[in-house]
């Protein structure tokens, strides 16, 4: 989606909001009753580093990722007393179809297995602690 204010339109905003925010909101609301019955659980929202920063032309994408950040933080406050952990993961360049580019070295990007390891680490946190935000960036710049 084009993000700059001179080229974007409401349809592009709606498409991005549907994919990056409304779908997560809807799925969370569908599963939350089942999780709360157990009196424990975890909700992990995978966002993007764009949920913590902004950039020229990123109006639509960044806005949807910032919306997810606010939603996740509020959700944590709403369900924490039910022993439900909520975190948002903010990965930088990940070696996926969406993240690849001509000027990027895939071997220096975050690998999908790295994301799985971070999620697993979050799930292993003791019941008394919750990391509500996790940022993961490539150790070395992936730019060629």
Cα(1)–Cα(49) distance, rounded to whole angstroms? 17
Cα(57)–Cα(73) distance, rounded to whole angstroms? 26
- Using an 8 Å Cβ cutoff, are 67 and 45 in contact? no
Q: Is 61 noted as a catalytic residue in this protein?
A: yes
Q: Which of 25, 26, 61, 93 is catalytic?
A: 61
Six-digit token pair at 51? Answer: 């949920």
What order do you get walking across the sheet with 84-91 strand by strand?
41-46, 84-91, 133-136
Q: Which residues are known catalytic residues?
A: 61
């Amino acid at each position: 989606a084009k993000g700059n204010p001179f080229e974007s339109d409401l349809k592009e905003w709606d498409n991005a909001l549907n994919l990056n925010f409304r779908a997560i909101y809807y799925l969370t609301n569908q599963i939350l009753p089942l999780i709360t019955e157990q009196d424990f659980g975890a909700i992990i929202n995978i966002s993007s580093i764009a949920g913590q920063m902004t950039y020229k032309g990123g109006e639509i994408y960044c806005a949807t990722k910032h919306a997810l950040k606010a939603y996740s933080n509020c959700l944590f406050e709403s369900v924490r007393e039910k022993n439900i952990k909520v975190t948002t993961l903010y990965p930088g360049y990940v070696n996926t179809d969406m993240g690849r580019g001509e000027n990027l070295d895939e071997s220096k990007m975050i690998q999908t297995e790295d994301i799985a390891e971070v999620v697993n680490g979050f799930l292993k946190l003791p019941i008394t602690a919750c990391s509500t935000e996790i940022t993961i960036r490539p150790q070395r710049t992936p730019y060629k």
